[in-house]
Amino acid sequence: MDVTEILEAHKAQFKPITVEKLVPLDFDLSLLAGFDTNALDDKRLKGTKEAYLKEMTRDNVQLVVNGIFELPVKTSDHGILAELPDRTTVLPREKPLPKEKPMTRWEKFAQTKGIQNRKRERMVWDDDRQEYVPRWGYKGGAKDGTQDWLIEVPNSVDPMTDMYQAKREEKKERVAKNAKRQKRNEEEGAAATMAGKKDVRDLKKDELQSAIAASRTATASMGKFDKALRNEQKVKGVTHQFSSNIGDAKAEKNSSMDILNKIVGKDAKVDVNKAVRMHARDSAKKNFSKSNDKKSDKKFNKKQRK
Partner 1 sequence: MLRTVKPKTARTKRFFKNRESKVHENPKTALIVHSSTSSQKVNDALKDLYALKRANGIHFTKKNELRPFEDEEKLEFFSTKNDASLIVVGSHQKKRPHNLTFVRMFNHQVMEMIELGIDYSQVMSQVPGAKAAVGMKPVLVFNGELFDSNTTCQNIKNYFLDFFNGEESDAVNLNGLEYVISFTALSENKIAMRTYTVQMKKSGVKTPRVELENMGPNFDFAVRRTVAPRRELWKNAVRVPSEIKKTKTKNVEKDALGDTYGRIHVGQQNLSKIQTRKMKGLKKRSNESDEDDEVSSKKQKVDDNDEE
Regarding 275 and contact with partner 1 (CB under 8 A), the answer is: no
Give 5 or 158: the residue with its C-beta nearer to partner 1: 5
Q: Which stretch binds partner 1 (CB under 8 A): 45-53, 187-195, 253-261, 281-289?
A: 45-53
Q: Which stretch binds partner 1 (CB under 8 A): 46-54, 173-181, 235-243, 265-273?
A: 46-54
210: enclosing H helix or E strand: helix 200-216
Regarding 43 and contact with partner 1 (CB under 8 A), the answer is: no
Q: Exposed, middle or buried, 143 (CB in 10 Å: 0-12/13-18/19+)? A: middle
Interface residue with partner 1 among 6, 21, 48, 53 (CB under 8 A) is: 53
Cα separation, 18 vs 67, in Å, equals 11
Cα separation, 94 vs 96, in Å, equals 7
Residue 298 C-beta-side C-alpha neighbours within 13 Å:
6
Phi, psi (5° rounding) for residue 123?
-95, 135
Give 58 or 281: the residue with its C-beta nearer to partner 1: 58
Q: Minimal CA–CA distance to 60: which of 24, 15, 14?
A: 24
Beta strands in 95-164 (DSSP E): 123-126, 131-134
Cα separation, 281 vs 273, in Å, equals 12
> Are 223 and 213 contacting, i.e. CB atoms less than 8 angstroms apart?
no
* Least distance to partner 1, CB of residue 281, Å: 49
Number of Cβ within 10 Å of residue 159's Cβ equals 7
Q: Mask of contacts with partner 1, 93-132, x by CB under 8 A? A: xxxxxx----------------------------------
Site size toward partner 1 (CB under 8 A) is 56
3 state DSSP class of 131: strand
Regarding 60 and contact with partner 1 (CB under 8 A), the answer is: yes
Regarding 2 and contact with partner 1 (CB under 8 A), the answer is: no
Interface residue with partner 1 among 6, 65, 214, 259 (CB under 8 A) is: 65
Give 92 or 159: the residue with its C-beta nearer to partner 1: 92
Give 54 or 122: the residue with its C-beta nearer to partner 1: 54
Q: What separation in angstroms does the CA of 16 have from each of 6, 56, 60, 66, 230?
A: 16, 15, 14, 12, 91
Q: Which stretch binds partner 1 (CB under 8 A): 34-42, 126-134, 141-149, 254-262?
A: 34-42
Interface residue with partner 1 among 1, 90, 246, 264 (CB under 8 A) is: 90
At residue 89's C-alpha, the angle toward residues 85 and 95, to 5°, is 105
Interface residue with partner 1 among 6, 47, 66, 284 (CB under 8 A) is: 66
Regarding 179 and contact with partner 1 (CB under 8 A), the answer is: no
Interface residue with partner 1 among 6, 24, 69, 217 (CB under 8 A) is: 69
Q: What separation in angstroms does the CA of 142 have from each of 39, 60, 131?
A: 73, 63, 11
Interface residue with partner 1 among 74, 139, 250, 269 (CB under 8 A) is: 74
* Least distance to partner 1, CB of residue 62, Å: 5
Give the distance from CA 211 to its chain's centroid.
27
Regarding 83 and contact with partner 1 (CB under 8 A), the answer is: yes
Binding site for partner 1 (CB under 8 A): 10-11, 13-17, 28, 30-40, 45, 49, 53-54, 56-58, 60-62, 64-66, 68-70, 73-74, 76, 78-84, 86, 89-98
